[in-house]
């Protein structure tokens, strides 16, 4: 994972989110990376743009009967 050409982290897991209709990932990031920063993620040899956000990625809905 890079920001401005410098390696700033490592993706630990990722998958496609059917709720969000795009990929999501968890990563260990350097403290210099802040929420909202744009990063490039190496996905099988190609760079994919990403934005740093805190989980959960979707709103948790609590069902009350």
Encode the chain in three state secondary structure: CEECCEECEEEEEEEEECCCCEEEEEEEECCCCCCCCEEEEEECCEEEEEECCCCCCCCCCCCCC
Over residues 27-46, the pLDDT tens digits come to 999 999 999 999 999 988 99
Supply the pTM of this predicted model.
0.77
Query: Cα-atom radius of gyration of the chain, to the nearest Å?
Result: 14
CA atoms of 34 and 51, how far apart (whole Å): 10
pLDDT value at position 40?
93
CATH class of the domain defined by 2-51: mainly beta
The phi and psi torsions of 28 (rounded to 5 degrees) equal: -95, 120
């Amino acid at each position: 994972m890079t920001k401005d050409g410098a390696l700033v982290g490592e993706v630990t897991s990722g998958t496609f989110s059917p709720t969000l209709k795009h990929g999501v990932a968890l990563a260990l990031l350097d403290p210099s990376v802040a929420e909202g920063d744009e990063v490039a993620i190496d996905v099988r040899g190609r760079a994919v743009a990403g934005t740093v956000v805190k989980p959960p990625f979707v709103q948790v809905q609590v069902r009350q009967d």
